[in-house]
Amino acid sequence: MDDAKPTMLSRLDGIRRMIQTEQNTEGNRQVLTVSNKTGRTLVLNRPEALNSLTLPMVQSIETQLQRWGKSALCNIVMLRSNSPKAFCAGGDVVSVVKAWKEGETAKAIKFFKDEYRMNHHIASYNKPIVAMLNGYTMGGGVGLSIHAPFRVANETTVFAMPETKIGLFPDVGASFFLPRMDGQTGVYLGMTGERLKGRDLLYAGIATHYVPSERYQMLEQRLQGLGTCDYDVVNQAIEEFVAQSEDEGIDYSLAGIRDAIDWCFQYNTVEEIVAALEQESLSNSEMHAEWAKKTLGQLSKMSPSSLKLTLELLRNGQKLNIKQALQLELRLMEKRLESHDMQEGIEALLVRKTDDAKWQPSTLEEIDMEALSAEYFDHPSNAIIEFTHRAAFTEYPHKFGLPTENDIGEVVRGNNPQAGAFRMSRDDVTQFFEKLYADKIGVRQKVLWTLNIKTKLGDGNYVEWII
Catalytic residues: 91, 140, 163, 171
CA distance 11 to 71: 22
Beta carbons within 10 angstroms of residue 190's beta carbon: 28
CA distance 371 to 379: 11
User: Residue 22: left if φ>0, alpha if ψ -120 to 50, beta else—which one?
Assistant: beta
CA distance 360 to 255: 36
Q: What angle do CA 111, 117, 118 make, to 5 degrees?
A: 90
CA distance 121 to 118: 5
Buried/exposed code over 117-134 (b: 16+ C-beta within 10 A; e: otherwise) = bbbbbbbbbebbbbbbbb
What's the alpha-carbon Rg for the chain, to the nearest Å? Answer: 23
Cis bond upstream, residue 361 (ω within 30):
yes
Strand 76-81 versus strand 39-44 pairing type: parallel
Beta carbons within 10 angstroms of residue 449's beta carbon: 18
Instruction: Please report, for residues 301, 341, 467, the alpha-carbon distance to residue 273 in angstroms, rounded to integers and kept in the order given.
Output: 15, 22, 20
CA distance 190 to 169: 8
